[in-house]
Amino acid sequence: MHKGPTIRVYCLGRFRIEDASGDSIAQLGQPKPVALLKTLIALGAQDVPLDGLLDTLWPDSEGDAAQTAFASTLYRLRQLLGQDALRLSNRQLSLDPAHVWWDVAEFESILDSCLASSETTKTIDHRLAERLIALYRGPFLAGESDPPAIISLRERLHSRFLRCIRQTSAALHENGEIDAAIVLLERAAEAVPTAEELCQALMSALSTAGRTAESRAAYQRLHRTLRAHDDITPLESTEHLRANLERQAASTNVENSTAGSLPARVVGSELTSATNTRSEKAGRSAKDPAPVKRSRRLITTIGFLASAAILAVIFLGSVLWRVEDVEISSVSQTTPQHQPAVPDGPSIAVLPFTNMSGDPEQDYFADGITEQIISDLARFRDLFVIARNSTFQYKDQSRDVRKIASELRVRYVLEGSVRKATNTVRVTTQLLDGSTGSHLWAETYEADLTAENIFGIQDEISNQVVATIAGHSGVLSRTNRWQAKKSLTGSLQAYECVLLAQDFQRTPNAESHRIVLDCLKRAVEADPSYVAAWAWLAYVYSFGYAYGLAPGPEHLQLGLRAAQEAIRLDPTNQMAHFGMAVSHYFRGEIDAFREETETAIALNPNNTDVTAVLAEYYTYTVDWDRGVALMRKAMTLNPMHPSWYWYPVAKYHLVRGEFDEAITAAQKNISPDDYISYCVLAYVYATAGRQEEAEQAVALARNSFPDASVEGVALLYKRWNFSPDFIQRYVVDGLRKAGLPETPAAQ
């Protein structure tokens, strides 16, 4: 049975092949198979004629020799990716999307949706543009120029990406969402800092919003970036726009301050220009769409000729926007300027880890950990993560966390240090509240470091940091969840409804189920495109059925529909597949559950709570080994995990007759608000022959829930799809031995 793509291929900004667990697949010594894969993707990846591949990769070989070389290369590529990864039919080669995911396919699909919506509707879903920015780590196969198809696709993707961003920002502006347009343009400009058309749009938008100092700073950043990378100056159109905006600002007397009183973020960028130039230069090597320095001006010119009409609209629009700005600014000159509000949901900046080793050569290791953490955090769709280019401007600078959080407009800041001595490395991390500077969490990691395991150590530390602070039981969610629970007023934002849903699974009861269900329904009505709300709605429907809070089968159908809507909105969203997996599980569709589970885990292996929930269900379907292996991985990644992670571990050891281990796990599973956890401890004790402790556990269960009964617990286990043999042998017989009443006291 197929379980979703097991291979992921990244070509945007970097080339990397990963397996389902996110580990890199070694490619050393396999240049030709990798070249075949790159060429196949550059040519479309689907139904690519064999003759074209042979001509591209073996241009100097005769027919039979080229065929033999291709057969050998294809065999080796299948060994690398898996036998089912490629299909060869009618002399056409294809990647099988059922077994391989590649970022270019998803990127182009989102691009098509983004550009098509702009042609058929007056508004554009800005989430599409945000997803593009998250995927766009740089140009397609940056730095490679052979075969020509690579350059062709690189330029096409680059051009369409910029067009989508421009059109989306223009639509946001027309709808009066100028701050949202600015944020979008800033993020896009960080991803492609040499794209002058983006800088022009950003300069105009900032000026329209009355933020002329920041508009000037955007131009200055572009100027420094172009000078550092290509030793060229901005285009005449950019210079003309800058001069025009400066004249308009002076004529309307909008700007009252001198350069010395610029906002903190601008002053900071000027003071650290040497550092910025160095970090931008390092970062731009993988970002510049042109393969050769001297060709950049030519390629840019061609791009501008191809999109002259669009640029003209942007430029004229900037002038019209400024006319409107004159009227607005004349009223608001006496009103203090303020930063846009922090985005809904948690937002975080990861500052460059400090190299404490005294050896400048170790900077690469500290930077590598920082970049890996940023990349791993970005997998959590509800977490707003500041891009590397923005945070690395603070490298080697004294840091005021509250000032940095204000400049980057984030709620949380993660920082750390790296100290290497001989072959040992120590990494210290701490999570801070950006509004107060207070510590929320800190940890120190130590590992033996060698040349062979350096990247593995970076990945391991990043995985543990990310798993601990992100996810449903991570530090960020726990902090925000506590705040959301303080005001159950019905006016909660959609994200806060999701937080309540995450908390609901800890203490499920009829009242909390009603509150969370109503909140999520309002959330999807208010924002029908909010994937996480649909996914959690599916989960709450299904979980409510499992606990007897909404026992009707119609709730299982409603849960399935919610999950289907989540996947329709975003087929690559982990939480969408999580909601679908849970829906299938409680409907008894176990094969479909397992397939969705593997897909969900592969999309973000660092989300330990998703892994743990689905691992728990795995153990209930008698796939004990797979389930417990997943659960132990989740425990390792997140040492601060909830107590219920021990639930399936206790059952695993129980059925194997390992009573001491089962008792230890059942004791760790105890939650004061969960009477089932006491029932588990009771039947484990009873099965192990420890009657007195079993009776004490039953007393605690009834103290937590007076109506606890053998009949009620057995019914729950039936809904949870436990095997009849397990229910009878351990649950029913064990709880009877422990003294739990047969039926609820109310009966």
Q: Backbone phi, then psi, for 440, in 5-degree steps?
A: -105, -30
Q: What is the percentage of the chain residues whose pLDDT exceeds 70?
A: 80
What is residue 698's predicted lDDT score, i.e. its pLDDT?
A: 94
Question: Which residue type, as a one-letter code, is found at position 656?
Answer: R
551 contact partners, CB below 8 Å, separation of at least 6: 545
Distance CA 722, CA 728 (A): 10
- E-strand ranges in 335-471 read 347-350, 354-355, 384-385, 412-421, 424-433, 439-448
CB atoms within 10 A of CB 28: 6
Q: Which residue has the tokens 């002259």?
A: 308
- Going by their DSSP bridges, the two strands 7-10 and 16-19 should be labelled as antiparallel
Residue 176 has pLDDT above 80, yes or no: yes
Which is more confident, 50 or 144?
Answer: 50
Contact 74, 91 (CB under 8 A): no
- Going by their DSSP bridges, the two strands 100-102 and 354-355 should be labelled as unpaired
End-to-end CA distance of the chain: 46
Contact 150, 141 (CB under 8 A): yes
Report residue 228's pLDDT band, with 50, 70 and 90 as the boundaries: confident
What is residue 688's predicted lDDT score, i.e. its pLDDT?
A: 95
Residue 254 has pLDDT above 70, yes or no: no
Q: Is 176 left (phi over 0), alpha (psi -120 to 50) or beta?
A: left
Range with top average pLDDT, 24-33, 254-263, 692-701: 692-701
What is residue 678's predicted lDDT score, i.e. its pLDDT?
A: 94
CA distances from 601 to 4, 70, 357, 502, 684 (A): 10, 34, 36, 18, 30
Distance CA 358, CA 265 (A): 29
What is residue 389's predicted lDDT score, i.e. its pLDDT?
A: 72
Distance CA 137, CA 280 (A): 14
What is residue 580's predicted lDDT score, i.e. its pLDDT?
A: 94
Compute the chain's Rg from CA coordinates: 28
What is residue 506's predicted lDDT score, i.e. its pLDDT?
A: 66
Contact 12, 104 (CB under 8 A): yes
Which is more confident, 664 or 72?
Answer: 664
Please list the residues that pair with 10 across neighbouring strands.
Answer: 16
Range with top average pLDDT, 83-87, 119-123, 482-486: 83-87
Q: What tokens does 327 get?
A: 């009227």
What is residue 499's predicted lDDT score, i.e. its pLDDT?
A: 76
Residue 146 has pLDDT above 80, yes or no: no
Tell me the three-class secondary structure of 278-316, residue by residue: HHHHHHHCCCCCCCCHHHHHHHHHHHHHHCHHHHHHHHH
Q: Which residue has the tokens 């208010």?
A: 526
| Mutual angle of helices 236-252 and 196-208, in 10-degree steps | 10
Lowest average pLDDT, out of 199-203, 544-548, 560-564, goes to 544-548
Helices (H), 470-549: 475-485, 494-504, 510-526, 531-546
Contact 453, 388 (CB under 8 A): no
Q: Is 255 left (phi over 0), alpha (psi -120 to 50) or beta?
A: beta
CA distances from 668 to 213, 469, 684 (A): 57, 22, 13
Contact 716, 548 (CB under 8 A): yes
Residue 121 has pLDDT above 60, yes or no: no
Q: Mean pLDDT, to the nearest integer, of 46-64?
A: 80
Handedness of CA 120, 123, 129, 131 (dihedral sign): negative
Report residue 334's pLDDT band, with 50, 70 and 90 as the boundaries: very low
Range with top average pLDDT, 258-272, 329-343, 419-433, 688-702: 688-702
Residue 408 has pLDDT above 80, yes or no: yes
Range with top average pLDDT, 122-131, 216-225, 545-554, 723-732: 723-732
Residue 211 has pLDDT above 80, yes or no: yes
Range with top average pLDDT, 552-556, 584-588, 618-622: 584-588
Report residue 420's pLDDT band, with 50, 70 and 90 as the boundaries: confident
Distance CA 50, CA 57 (A): 11
Q: What tokens does 428 get?
A: 């210290």
Q: Which 8-state DSSP code applies to residue 327?
A: H
Contact 734, 684 (CB under 8 A): yes
Residue 258 has pLDDT above 50, yes or no: no
- At 519-532, the pLDDT tens digits run 899 888 888 888 88
Q: What is the percentage of the chain residues whose pLDDT exceeds 90?
A: 17
Average pLDDT, the chain: 77
What is residue 697's predicted lDDT score, i.e. its pLDDT?
A: 93
Classify residue 729 as exposed, middle or buried by CB count within 10 Å of its CB (0-12, 13-18, 19+): middle
pTM comes to: 0.50
Question: Residue 275 half-sphere exposure, CB side, CA atoms within 13 Å?
Answer: 16
Distance CA 236, CA 227 (A): 15
Q: Mean pLDDT, to the nearest integer, of 438-457?
A: 77
Residue 645 has pLDDT above 60, yes or no: yes
Report residue 142's pLDDT band, with 50, 70 and 90 as the boundaries: confident
Rounded to 5°, the CA angle 303-304-307 comes to 90
Please give the full DSSP string across 27-80, using - where no structure is assigned. -TT-HHHHHHHHHHHHTTSSSEEHHHHHHHH-TTS-HHHHHHHHHHHHHHHHHH
What is residue 383's predicted lDDT score, i.e. its pLDDT?
A: 77
- At 21-40, the pLDDT tens digits run 777 786 655 788 888 999 99
Which is more confident, 398 or 207?
Answer: 207
Distance CA 528, CA 534 (A): 8
Residue 269 has pLDDT above 50, yes or no: no
Which is more confident, 683 or 241?
Answer: 683
| Mutual angle of helices 454-469 and 475-485, in 10-degree steps | 10
Lowest average pLDDT, out of 506-510, 512-516, 643-647, 693-697, goes to 506-510
Q: Mean pLDDT, to the nearest integer, of 315-336?
A: 31
Report residue 411's pLDDT band, with 50, 70 and 90 as the boundaries: confident
Element (H, E) at 161: helix 148-174
Which is nearest to 442 in space by CA: 735, 662, 640? Answer: 640
Question: Residue 319 half-sphere exposure, CB side, CA atoms within 13 Å?
Answer: 9
3-class DSSP state of 725: helix
What is residue 551's predicted lDDT score, i.e. its pLDDT?
A: 64
Q: Mean pLDDT, to the nearest integer, of 527-554?
A: 85
Q: Mean pLDDT, to the nearest integer, of 713-722?
A: 91
Structural domains of the chain, ranges and CATH numbers in brackets: 7-98 (1.10.10.10), 123-332 (1.25.40), 347-469 (3.40.50.10610)
Report residue 541's pLDDT band, with 50, 70 and 90 as the boundaries: very high
Please give the full DSSP string across 649-688, using - where no structure is assigned. HHHHHHHTT-HHHHHHHHHHT--TT-HHHHHHHHHHHHHT
Residue 314 has pLDDT above 90, yes or no: no
Q: What tokens does 637 get?
A: 């990644």
Q: Mean pLDDT, to the nearest integer, of 655-678?
A: 90
- Going by their DSSP bridges, the two strands 347-350 and 384-385 should be labelled as parallel
Residue 327 has pLDDT above 70, yes or no: no
Rounded to 5°, the CA angle 293-295-301 comes to 125
Residue 699 has pLDDT above 70, yes or no: yes
What is residue 27's predicted lDDT score, i.e. its pLDDT?
A: 65
The secondary structure of the chain in percent helix, strand, coil, rounded to multiples of 5, reads 65, 10, 30
Q: How many helices (H) and strands (E) does the chain have?
A: 34, 12
Report residue 507's pLDDT band, with 50, 70 and 90 as the boundaries: low
Q: Mean pLDDT, to the nearest integer, of 485-502?
A: 61
